[in-house]
Amino acid sequence: MSKRLSEGYHGTYWGRRKSSLYYQATFQVVSVVGDDARSVLDVGSADTDYINWFDWIPQRTQLNL
């Protein structure tokens, strides 16, 4: 995927989804249940920066196929 196409995809895909109830609820659950987590894995992240919301977790890994 070209850089230009990738930026457009990222901007529209993540821009439309980052404020969805699903992501907000997941963040709240992880904040409570995973408050002492040492690692997190985001599978199928589509190159979004959602995993960086969990900045208290030292080891953050994204897997994109």
pLDDT tens digits, 27-45: 999 999 999 999 999 998 8
Residues of the chain with pLDDT under 70: 1-11
What does the alpha-carbon distance between residue 58 and residue 65 come to, in Å, rounded to a whole number?
A: 23
Which has the closest alpha carbon to 42: 15, 34, 6, 3?
Answer: 34
- Asked if 34 and 40 count as a contact pair (C-beta separation under 8 A), the reply is yes
> What is the structure's pLDDT at 65?
78
